[in-house]
């Protein structure tokens, strides 16, 4: 049987490392014949637009390990319940059947694990067995039952490094210029990325002085008082704010007013909102940065641990399939924090699907503006080590797939 | 005699490398006794707040080479003409005289070269000779008579790398999600940093598809038409916009409404302004990033050429002083582009002061949205090579000075 691999949702600096893990492991087992990848994720399966991975060179597959973003194309495309979207699930099985696909490796977050689980069920119902294995991926780090999620460690490293660097800049200038610097980071519901900013310094005088988490309702008065205290005591104030920061009533500090295809509110711009608040209240000169895609695409400063875990999760997914598992996802199991020791475990997809892991309250300081030692002990190992890509002409020499299409067998039109 | 070193204006990823160059060269010459640094630049001289650099360890001085931002503190503090600010210039000479300072190394941009030139003149007038040498520094790359300015190469590399990475992200997602990505970069008057984004790709289909320069008046209709063409032809559109992008009448696309201490308008937020324009006209889903201080502090991805040049400029400043030069600035002279060969030259401060070097028209494509091969040939060597800092616990292990104050001799109060 052949295998189908697809990337789903927001991409990361290391999702292609997971792809490399899947592909290289699949090449080693006799159970799997060819690996096909979905062009633009699950959309490629629905439209029978499959990429023949065997047409890619070994060097390209190897290069996926150090190439960020989704080399095969990803998709923000959610399949709803089996009842609501039955035609789509049936179409998937139809395409899988036509191409002798008996294995489905779905590289994504919560929603994707739910989809993979349903595909496993519908295949059984329709008499075409598909072994469905999830491959964890999300910069948000919000999947349960795994120590962390591939993609997160590298964003965490980027945010911690960037916060440390920008803070040095502000500290240099504060005497006569910028006193407040605001850095907006991703994390709609879970504040893991914002928390990672906390690794940039230790102790109340070291930046970042304030972190605004989605897990803590924003208290404007307490925030402004803290900014003033920092500028007074340390000469400047560095703030890391999560895009999901919100008031007690649930209203986001910044709401761009647009929604994505999942109906989620599209956020952006909480950085300038917070900076303006500070200026209005205290008149301090400020600067703000919004890292946006830079943070999750920043393969140039990826965490070595993260790259290793991303690759290991891809490989483990194939190994689980070979061992006869179905509807599971490999996980990272922490054995020790210092030095970091981890091994591969697994969990049922049904236990992962649509569950979000938030930053626990005891990872956040009592005042709600910082991370505790417990949080630091959890986060620190995940940003360990550098894994630099090769460079050419001063720029990272990332690979690009040829993307040769598999000949269509159905040739039926399907609008996803 | 002793030497006084000061950092001025916006800091960079490599200004401390210039400091290391000055300090290590000064330690080698018998002409210079001690090196004092201004705490917060020239403000430290005016307030007699001098740092005794001899109290720093060799390891710290060496570490300055890989530590971003201004280790001694910088200042946005402009001295006006000798007539308008005579008391301040006299104060400087008073402090220099009290501390046997006969050499002044001023590490900054256009304004600072003007100040250094005036200090040289006033010293002569007041009978306390001070050899004044400028050390070029500006991420804006707008100093004349030098191939480039230390600080620029590293921002250029950061912007090119970040654009390449974020563009891969957008390309992965564009089928079902974000189609337009806008990256805002620094450069109020000169578009060198924006131009560097152009190094991320080659050919019209490769991102960035559009660069908005301050040198080209913004034409909204032409811009929106080009965005549409890119999304239609390539599936997505990546835009690099300079903070100084403006309309034909000179009005900035984004004007935050605040001014800095020089009376310059404080800009910020042209990225979201441009993104909103696209959404209103075409309805495309967009993302935007504002790198702000991240770009100029990003020592983790510094250009090796830039680090070498920054260090060489610091060292050359001392060597020029030793040779008896006064009121000059060392320069970078390009001998060859491929492979890049350069040597150290010099220029009179009066020829540098307050002159801005813009991106020439023939470095920009006819349509005003891209860089020409000539521009590419100029820029490419400046981002060559990586020069990674040491890491500890997953983060760059930057040095911090002790900053021991020199005992005051005047003890007179001076409000700068």
A260 in Cβ contact with B177 (< 8 Å): yes
Question: Are residues A293 and B169, on separate chains, in Cβ contact within 8 Å?
Answer: yes
CB atoms within 10 A of CB B129: 15
Q: How far is the alpha carbon of B345 from chain A, nearest alpha carbon, in Å? A: 25
Give this complex's ipTM.
0.96
Question: Are residues A293 and B166, on separate chains, in Cβ contact within 8 Å?
Answer: yes
**How far apart are alpha carbons B369 and B365 in whole angstroms?**
6
Torsion sign across C-alpha atoms A153, A158, A159, A165: positive
Query: What is each CA distance from A141 to A71, A252, A379, B150, in whole angstroms?
Result: 21, 20, 11, 39
Chain B residues closer than 8 Å to A296 by CB: 169
**Shortest CA distance from B294: residue in chain A:** A166
A142 in Cβ contact with A189 (< 8 Å): yes
Residue A289 pLDDT class (50, 70, 90 cuts): very high
Q: Which residues of A are catalytic?
A: 140
Average pLDDT, chain B: 95
Is B140 annotated as catalytic?
yes
**Shortest CA distance from B393: residue in chain A:** A384
Dump pLDDT digits (tens) for B243-292. 999 999 998 987 645 554 455 555 558 998 899 899 889 999 999 999 99
**Mutation target among B294, B377, B415 for the A interface, most CBs of A within 10 A:** B294
CB atoms within 10 A of CB B78: 16
Question: Are residues B297 and A181, on separate chains, in Cβ contact within 8 Å?
Answer: no
B260 and chain A: CB distance < 8 Å anywhere?
yes
**How far apart are alpha carbons B351 and B113 in whole angstroms?**
9
**How far apart are alpha carbons B308 and B253 in whole angstroms?**
36
Q: Where are the alpha helices (DSSP H) in B198-242?
A: 220-234
**Percent of chain B residues topping a pLDDT of 90:** 91
Length of chain A: 416
| For range B115-123, the mean pLDDT | 96
Question: Are residues B380 and A393, on separate chains, in Cβ contact within 8 Å?
Answer: yes
**How far apart are alpha carbons A44 and A72 in whole angstroms?**
10
**In terms of Cα–Cα distance, which of A22, A17, A16, A46 is closest to A34?**
A22
Q: Where are the alpha helices (DSSP H) in A323-397?
A: 349-352, 373-379
pLDDT at A180: 98
Task: Give the H or E element holding residue B318.
Answer: helix B304-322
Dump pLDDT digits (tens) for B278-307. 988 999 999 999 999 999 999 999 999 999
A251-254, Cβ contacts within 8 angstroms, sequence gap of 24 or more: A253/A218
Is the pLDDT score of A318 beyond 90? yes
| For range A33-54, the mean pLDDT | 97
Chain B residues closer than 8 Å to A107 by CB: none
| For range A123-143, the mean pLDDT | 96
A112 in Cβ contact with A18 (< 8 Å): no
A264 and chain B: CB distance < 8 Å anywhere?
no
Among B169, B269, B297, the residue with its CB nearest the CB of A11 is B169
Dump pLDDT digits (tens) for B357-408. 999 999 999 999 999 999 999 999 999 999 999 999 999 999 999 999 999 9
- DSSP for residue B382: G
- DSSP for residue A359: P
pLDDT at B170: 98
Q: How far is the alpha carbon of A188 from chain B, nearest alpha carbon, in Å? A: 15
Among B171, B293, B394, the residue with its CB nearest the CB of A181 is B293
B173 in Cβ contact with A76 (< 8 Å): yes
**Mutation target among B161, B208, B377, B415 for the A interface, most CBs of A within 10 A:** B161
Q: How far is the alpha carbon of B164 from chain A, nearest alpha carbon, in Å? A: 8
**How far apart are alpha carbons B371 and B363 in whole angstroms?**
6
**In terms of Cα–Cα distance, which of A374, A188, A373, A361 is closest to A267?**
A188
Among B173, B287, B380, the residue with its CB nearest the CB of A292 is B287
How many residue pairs from chains A and B have C-beta atoms closer than 8 A?
A: 215
Catalytic residue among B140, B142, B147, B387: B140
**Percent of chain A residues topping a pLDDT of 70:** 97
B7 and chain A: CB distance < 8 Å anywhere?
yes
**Mutation target among A148, A175, A377 for the B interface, most CBs of B within 10 A:** A175
Question: Are residues B160 and A260, on separate chains, in Cβ contact within 8 Å?
Answer: no
**Could you tell me the two tokens for B122?**
């006033």
Chain B residues closer than 8 Å to A41 by CB: 176
Q: How far is the alpha carbon of B102 from chain A, nearest alpha carbon, in Å? A: 26
Question: Are residues A173 and B268, on separate chains, in Cβ contact within 8 Å?
Answer: no
B157 and chain A: CB distance < 8 Å anywhere?
yes
Question: Are residues A293 and B7, on separate chains, in Cβ contact within 8 Å?
Answer: no
Question: Are residues A171 and B394, on separate chains, in Cβ contact within 8 Å?
Answer: no
Torsion sign across C-alpha atoms B200, A300, A392, A71: negative
A205 and chain B: CB distance < 8 Å anywhere?
no
pLDDT at B286: 94
Dump pLDDT digits (tens) for B177-189. 999 999 999 998 9
| For range B132-143, the mean pLDDT | 97
**How far apart are alpha carbons B215 and B361 in whole angstroms?**
8
Helices B86-98 and B110-125, axial angle in degrees (round to 10): 70
From chain A residues 99-138, the ones with a CB under 8 A of any chain B CB are none
Question: Are residues A43 and B175, on separate chains, in Cβ contact within 8 Å?
Answer: yes
| For range B6-22, the mean pLDDT | 98
Dump pLDDT digits (tens) for B24-77. 999 999 999 999 999 999 999 999 999 999 999 999 999 999 999 999 999 999
- DSSP conformation letters of A193-261: HHHHHGGG--STTSSP-EEE-TTS-B-HHHHHHHHHHHHHHHS-EEEEEETT-BBTTS-BS---SEE-T
A256 in Cβ contact with A269 (< 8 Å): yes
Is the pLDDT score of B213 beyond 60? yes
| For range A387-400, the mean pLDDT | 98
B273 and chain A: CB distance < 8 Å anywhere?
no
End-to-end CA distance of chain B: 25
B308 and chain A: CB distance < 8 Å anywhere?
no
A273 and chain B: CB distance < 8 Å anywhere?
no
pLDDT at B265: 52
End-to-end CA distance of chain A: 25
pLDDT at B13: 98
Question: Are residues B166 and A290, on separate chains, in Cβ contact within 8 Å?
Answer: no
Residue A260 pLDDT class (50, 70, 90 cuts): very low
| For range B105-110, the mean pLDDT | 96
The partner residues of B328 in beta bridges, in order of sequence, read B133, B348
Among A13, A166, A172, the residue with its CB nearest the CB of B73 is A172
**How far apart are alpha carbons B43 and B358 in whole angstroms?**
30
Task: Give the H or E element holding residue B331.
Answer: strand B328-337
A244 in Cβ contact with A265 (< 8 Å): no
**Could you tell me the two tokens for B2?**
């002793």
Chain A residues closer than 8 Å to B266 by CB: 285
User: Is residue B341 classed as helix, strand or coil in its secondary structure?
Assistant: strand
pLDDT at B260: 46
Q: Where are the alpha helices (DSSP H) in A3-83?
A: 15-28, 42-46, 58-63
pLDDT at B65: 98
Chain B residues closer than 8 Å to A173 by CB: 10-11, 70, 74-76
Is the pLDDT score of A262 beyond 60? no
Question: Are residues A69 and B43, on separate chains, in Cβ contact within 8 Å?
Answer: no
From chain A residues 348-407, the ones with a CB under 8 A of any chain B CB are 380, 383-386, 388, 391, 393-396, 398
| For range A335-350, the mean pLDDT | 97
A200 and chain B: CB distance < 8 Å anywhere?
yes
| For range A297-319, the mean pLDDT | 98
B17 and chain A: CB distance < 8 Å anywhere?
no
Chain B residues closer than 8 Å to A297 by CB: 162, 165-166, 168-169
**Shortest CA distance from B385: residue in chain A:** A394
Q: Give the neighbor-by-neighbor strand order of the sheet with B35-38.
A: B50-52, B35-38, B2-7, B101-108, B131-136, B328-337, B340-348
Chain A residues closer than 8 Å to B297 by CB: 162, 165-166, 168-169
pLDDT at A276: 86
CB atoms within 10 A of CB A108: 27
């Amino acid at each position: 049987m052949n295998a189908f691999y697809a990337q789903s949702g927001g991409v990361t600096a290391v999702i292609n490392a997971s792809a490399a893990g899947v592909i290289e492991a699949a090449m080693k087992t006799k159970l799997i014949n060819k690996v096909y990848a979905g062009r633009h994720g699950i959309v490629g399966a629905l439209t029978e637009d499959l990429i023949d991975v065997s047409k890619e060179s070994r060097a390209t597959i190897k290069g996926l390990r150090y190439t960020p973003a989704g080399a095969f194309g990803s998709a923000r495309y959610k399949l709803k319940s089996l009842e609501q979207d039955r035609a789509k699930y049936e179409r998937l099985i139809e395409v899988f059947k036509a191409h002798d696909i008996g294995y489905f490796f779905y590289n994504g977050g919560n929603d994707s694990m739910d989809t993979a689980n349903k595909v496993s069920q519908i295949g059984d119902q329709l008499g075409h067995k598909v072994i469905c294995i999830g491959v964890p991926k999300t910069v948000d780090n919000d999947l349960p039952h795994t120590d962390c999620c591939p993609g997160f460690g590298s964003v965490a490293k980027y945010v911690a490094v960037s916060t440390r660097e920008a803070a040095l800049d502000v500290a240099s200038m504060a005497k006569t210029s910028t006193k407040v610097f605001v850095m907006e980071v991703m994390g709609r519901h879970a504040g893991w990325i914002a928390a990672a900013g906390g690794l940039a310094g230790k102790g109340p005088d070291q930046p970042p002085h304030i972190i605004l988490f989605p897990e803590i309702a924003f208290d404007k008065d307490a925030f402004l008082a803290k900014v003033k205290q920092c500028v007074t005591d340390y000469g400047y104030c560095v703030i890391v704010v999560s895009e999901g920061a919100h008031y007690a009533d649930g209203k986001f500090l910044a709401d761009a007013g647009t929604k994505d295809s999942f109906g989620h509110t599209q956020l952006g711009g909480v950085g300038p909102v917070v900076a303006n608040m500070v200026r209005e209240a205290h008149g301090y000169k400020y600067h703000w940065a919004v890292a946006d895609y830079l943070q999750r695409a920043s393969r140039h400063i990826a965490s070595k641990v993260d790259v290793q875990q991303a690759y290991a999760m891809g490989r483990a997914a194939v190994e689980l399939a070979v061992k006869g598992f179905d509807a599971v996802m490999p996980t990272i199991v922490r054995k020790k924090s210092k030095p970091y020791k981890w091994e591969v475990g697994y969990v049922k997809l049904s236990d992962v699907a649509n569950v979000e892991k938030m930053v626990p309250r005891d990872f956040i300081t009592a005042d709600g503006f910082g991370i505790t030692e417990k949080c630091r002990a959890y986060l620190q190992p995940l940003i360990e080590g550098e894994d630099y890509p090769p460079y050419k002409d001063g720029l990272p020499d990332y690979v690009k797939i040829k993307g040769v299409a598999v000949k269509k067998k159905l040739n039926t039109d399907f609008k996803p």
